[in-house]
Structure 1
Amino acid sequence: MFGHQERVAILLLIGVALAVIAAHIVLVQIGKTPFASAYTDQSADGTLVSLSGTIDQATVLKNGGHVLLTVKNVTVFIPVTVAGDRSFVKGSNVTVFGTVQTYQGKKEIMVSAAEDLRTVP
Structure 2
Amino acid sequence: MGFVDVLDVVDVMILLTKSSKEAERYILVGHNLTYKQLIENFASKLGAKVPKRRAGKGLLNFFRSLDYLSALILGRKQTLFKDSVRSLCRRAYYSSEKIKDDMGFKFRPLSETVQRLASDYSKES
Could you say which TM-score interval applies, normalised by the shorter chain? under 0.3
More helix by share: 2
TM-score (norm 1): 0.24
Give the structure-2-normalised TM-score: 0.24
Point out the structure with max Rg over C-alpha. Answer: 1
Higher relative contact order (CA 8 A, sep 6+): 2
Q: Larger % of strand: which?
A: 1
